[in-house]
Amino acid sequence: MLMVLRDTDGFVSGEKLSKALGVTRAAIWKKVRELRSEGYIIEAAASRGYRLVRAPDLSSEEVISAVQGAFWKDALFYRSLGSTNDFAVEQALDGHLQPGTVIIADMQEKGRGRMGRTWTSPPGVNIYMSLVIKPCVGPRDATLITLLSSLACANAIRRAAGMDVSIKWPNDIMASGKKTGGILTEIKADQDSIALAIIGIGINVNSRVADFPEELRETATSMKIETGREHARSDIVIRILQEFEYLHGELARSGKTSLLSDWRKLCSTLGKRVLVTSGDAAVAGIAEDIDDEGLLLLRLESGGLKKISSGDVTLRS
Ligand code: BTN
Domain holding 16: CATH number? 1.10.10.10
Same domain? 137 vs 260:
yes
Same domain? 220 vs 289:
no
The protein residue whose alpha carbon is closest to atom 16 in ligand 1 is: 200
Of 18, 38, 54, the domain-final residue:
54
Same domain? 166 vs 261:
yes
Domain that holds residue 29: 2-54
Same domain? 251 vs 306:
no
The reported pLDDT for the residue numbered 190 is 86
What confidence category does residue 191 fall into, taking pLDDT thresholds of 50, 70 and 90? confident
Q: What lines the ligand 1 site, CB under 6 Å?
A: 83-85, 108, 111-114, 117, 119, 128-130, 172, 182-184, 200-202
Neighbours of 101 (CB within 10 A): 20
What gap in Å lies between CA 75 and CA 73, rounded to an integer? 7
Same domain? 309 vs 186:
no
Question: What are 137-178's pLDDT values in tens digits?
Answer: 999 899 999 999 999 999 999 999 999 999 999 899 999 999
Separation of 119 CA from ligand 1 center, angstroms?
A: 6
Residues whose CB falls within 8 Å of the CB of residue 270, separated by 6 or more in sequence, listed in order: 169, 264, 287, 288, 289, 290
The reported pLDDT for the residue numbered 63 is 95
Write the CATH number for 293: 2.30.30.100
Separation of 52 CA from ligand 1 center, angstroms?
A: 33
Same domain? 116 vs 237:
yes
Measured at the alpha carbon of residue 163, what is the angle toward residues 157 and 166, in degrees to the nearest 5? Answer: 75
What gap in Å lies between CA 192 and CA 201, rounded to an integer? 26
Question: What are 270-313's pLDDT values in tens digits?
Answer: 999 999 998 888 999 999 999 999 999 999 999 999 999 989 99
The protein residue whose alpha carbon is closest to atom 11 in ligand 1 is: 200
Same domain? 307 vs 240:
no
Same domain? 257 vs 291:
no
Q: Is the pTM of this model over 0.95?
A: no
Same domain? 179 vs 288:
no
Same domain? 262 vs 286:
no
Task: Give the number of domains in the chain.
Answer: 3
**Residue 270: which region, alpha, beta or left (left: phi > 0; alpha: psi -120 to 50)?**
beta
Lowest mean pLDDT among 214-223, 263-272, 308-317: 308-317
The reported pLDDT for the residue numbered 316 is 87
